[in-house]
């Protein structure tokens, strides 16, 4: 991430931290669990942003003799822990909401509307800051779209405050609390599954079978087997395999290998290792392909 990108994110983080603190404080004063949910939702987002920033710094560290992959996976481990915390928070919010539904208490609707409106303004401001340049940067785009969704939940909390202020409908607030908790849970679950996929050495978003077919069309390639393909982190993907070639010289064989490597890298794989062999020498059974 370029320096200016980090600067922009820092402002968004500070703005949202201020919103979160005031939301937590006023959720207690106003008896609103919806406001607390909104605060927790924003907390989850900000912790994800901070983790991404910290991990980006950590992953710049060089690999060592003991850690030959460096610290690329630090981000994934952090994301896994973060997702578990997010899921716990979602369950806690459902519990708090149910408590308010079974034991209703008066909600200070005007205060809820006021604080949630400020949060809404903060989300809109963050969205506008992030929108600039979001067409060119996938991370920025994700953050921008997320802020738009956050504005939506803040708007719902404003609605809950209005329902109790104008109509005395105190039950709307905890119902919105549950709704926001569900949104938080789904986001947490998605993050959890993504991190598990990477920790299970899952393949990146490519069709390995298709890559093999393309490689087999390259002249001199007789077979490719014992393929293993995995994601190290969000940025790096590995591909290893045995490449059976028919070549007259080692130089030819290396040339064929380089062509296959280029073909694989075109699919977005960053690191390719191919073991060259002739048809008769390999007895290894293929795992999948
Ligand atoms: Zn082999």
DSSP string over 66-130: S-TTTTTTHHHHHHHHHHHHHHHHHHHHHHHHHHHHHS-----HHHHHHHHHHHHHHHHHHHHHH
Where is the domain boundary, 150, 181, 199? 199
Q: How far is the CA of 249 from the centre of ligand 1 (A)?
A: 19
- For residues 250 and 56, what is the distance between their CA atoms, to the nearest angstrom? 40
- Identify the residue with better confidence: 142 or 75: 75
Where is the domain boundary, 179, 199, 219? 199
* pLDDT for residue 2 is more than 50: no
Residue 287 lies in a domain: no
Phi-psi region of 68 (alpha: psi -120 to 50; beta: other; left: phi over 0): alpha
Eight-state DSSP code of residue 62? P
Q: How far is the CA of 224 from the centre of ligand 1 (A)?
A: 8
Q: How far is the CA of 266 from the centre of ligand 1 (A)?
A: 23
Cα pseudo-dihedral 54, 56, 61, 64, rounded to 10:
100
Cα pseudo-dihedral 189, 44, 139, 71, rounded to 10:
-80
Q: How far is the CA of 289 from the centre of ligand 1 (A)?
A: 11
Is residue 43 domain-shared with residue 182, that is, in the same domain? yes
What SS3 class is residue 31? Answer: coil
* pLDDT for residue 247 is more than 50: yes
* pLDDT for residue 219 is more than 60: yes
Is residue 58 domain-shared with residue 134, that is, in the same domain? yes
Instruction: Give the environment of ion ligand 1: residues with CB less than 5 A.
Output: 242, 282, 284
Which tens digit of pLDDT belongs to each residue from 249-285? Answer: 999 999 999 999 999 999 999 999 999 998 766 777 7
As separate numbers, helices (DSSP H) first and strands (DSSP E) second, the chain gives 8, 3
What pLDDT score was predicted for residue 68? 92
Residue 137 lies in a domain: yes
Is residue 194 domain-shared with residue 243, that is, in the same domain? no
Residue 283 lies in a domain: no
Find, among 148, 146, 149, 143, the residue nearest to 130 by Cα. Answer: 143
Q: Let me know: does 105 contact 97? Beta carbons within 8 Å.
A: no
**What mean pLDDT do residues 125-151 have?**
76
Is residue 123 domain-shared with residue 78, that is, in the same domain? yes
Total domain count, the chain? 2
Is residue 140 domain-shared with residue 174, that is, in the same domain? yes
CATH number of the domain where residue 124 is located: 1.20.1510.10
* pLDDT for residue 161 is more than 70: yes
Residue 174 lies in a domain: yes
Which tens digit of pLDDT belongs to each residue from 77-111? Answer: 888 888 898 899 999 999 999 999 998 888 999 99
Q: How far is the CA of 203 from the centre of ligand 1 (A)?
A: 20
- Residues facing 208 on adjacent strands: none
Q: How far is the CA of 209 from the centre of ligand 1 (A)?
A: 17
Q: Would you say the pTM of this structure is higher than 0.85?
A: no
Give percent of the chain with pLDDT exceeding 90.
56
Q: How far is the CA of 221 from the centre of ligand 1 (A)?
A: 13
* pLDDT for residue 153 is more than 50: yes
What SS3 class is residue 46? Answer: helix
Q: Kindly report which listed range (16-20, 176-180, 239-243) carries the lowest average pLDDT score.
A: 16-20
Residue 247 lies in a domain: yes
What pLDDT score was predicted for residue 139? 62
Is residue 135 domain-shared with residue 189, that is, in the same domain? yes
Residue 286 lies in a domain: no
- Ranges assigned E (strand) in 166-287: 221-231, 237-245, 271-277
Q: How far is the CA of 283 from the centre of ligand 1 (A)?
A: 6
Q: How far is the CA of 241 from the centre of ligand 1 (A)?
A: 8
pLDDT class for 6, splitting at 50, 70, 90? Answer: low
* pLDDT for residue 3 is more than 50: no
Q: Let me know: does 184 contact 37? Beta carbons within 8 Å.
A: yes
Q: How far is the CA of 151 from the centre of ligand 1 (A)?
A: 54
Find, among 245, 10, 23, 211, the residue nearest to 115 by Cα. Answer: 23
Is residue 48 domain-shared with residue 158, that is, in the same domain? yes
- Tell how strand 237-245 and strand 271-277 pair up: parallel
Is residue 149 domain-shared with residue 89, that is, in the same domain? yes
* pLDDT for residue 234 is more than 50: yes
Is residue 147 domain-shared with residue 261, that is, in the same domain? no
Is residue 192 domain-shared with residue 217, that is, in the same domain? no
Average pLDDT of the residues of the chain: 88
Which tens digit of pLDDT belongs to each residue from 25-51? Answer: 999 999 999 999 999 988 887 887 787
Q: How far is the CA of 239 from the centre of ligand 1 (A)?
A: 15
Q: How far is the CA of 285 from the centre of ligand 1 (A)?
A: 8
Q: How far is the CA of 271 from the centre of ligand 1 (A)?
A: 19
Find, among 107, 119, 114, 118, the residue nearest to 29 by Cα. Answer: 107
Q: How far is the CA of 216 from the centre of ligand 1 (A)?
A: 15
Where is the domain boundary, 156, 179, 199? 199
CA 107 remoteness from chain centre? 35
Is residue 175 domain-shared with residue 84, that is, in the same domain? yes
Residue whose pair of structure tokens reads 């409106």 in the numeric block: 117
Q: How far is the CA of 215 from the centre of ligand 1 (A)?
A: 15
Q: How far is the CA of 253 from the centre of ligand 1 (A)?
A: 15
What SS3 class is residue 266? Answer: coil
**What mean pLDDT do residues 134-141 have?**
67
* pLDDT for residue 1 is more than 80: no
Q: How far is the CA of 229 from the centre of ligand 1 (A)?
A: 15
Q: How far is the CA of 152 from the centre of ligand 1 (A)?
A: 54
What pLDDT score was predicted for residue 281? 67
Residue 285 lies in a domain: no
Residue 67 lies in a domain: yes
Is residue 20 domain-shared with residue 162, that is, in the same domain? yes
What pLDDT score was predicted for residue 50? 81
Domain extent at residue 14:
3-199
CATH number of the domain where residue 256 is located: 3.30.70.1350
* pLDDT for residue 210 is more than 90: yes
């Amino acid at each position: 991430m370029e320096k200016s990108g980090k600067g922009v994110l820092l402002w968004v983080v500070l703005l949202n931290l201020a919103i979160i603190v005031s939301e937590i404080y006023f959720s207690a004063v106003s008896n609103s669990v919806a406001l607390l949910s909104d605060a927790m939702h924003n907390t989850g987002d900000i912790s994800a942003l901070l983790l991404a920033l910290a991990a980006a710094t950590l992953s710049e560290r060089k690999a060592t003799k003991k850690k030959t992959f460096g610290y690329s996976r630090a981000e994934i481990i952090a994301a896994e822990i973060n997702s578990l915390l997010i899921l716990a928070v979602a369950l806690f919010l459902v519990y708090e909401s149910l408590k308010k539904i079974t034991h209703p208490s008066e909600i200070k609707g005007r205060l809820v509307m006021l604080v949630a409106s400020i949060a809404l303004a903060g989300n809109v401001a963050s969205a506008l800051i992030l929108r600039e340049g979001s067409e060119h940067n996938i991370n920025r785009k994700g953050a921008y779209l997320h802020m738009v969704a956050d504005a939506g939940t803040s708007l719902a909390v404003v609605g809950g405050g209005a329902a109790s202020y104008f109509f005395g409908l105190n039950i709307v607030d905890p119902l919105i609390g549950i709704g926001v908790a569900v949104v938080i849970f789904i986001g947490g679950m998605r993050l959890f599954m993504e991190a598990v996929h990477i920790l299970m050495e899952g393949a990146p978003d490519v069709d390995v079978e298709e890559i093999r077919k393309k490689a087999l069309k390259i002249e001199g390639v007789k077979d490719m087997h014992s393929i293993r393909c995995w994601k190290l982190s969000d940025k790096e993907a590995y591909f290893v395999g045995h490449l059976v070639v028919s070549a007259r010289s080692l130089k030819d064989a290396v040339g064929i290998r380089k062509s296959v490597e280029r073909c694989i890298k075109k699919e977005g794989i960053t690191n390719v290792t191919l073991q060259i062999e002739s048809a008769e020498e390999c007895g290894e059974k293929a795992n999948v392909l």
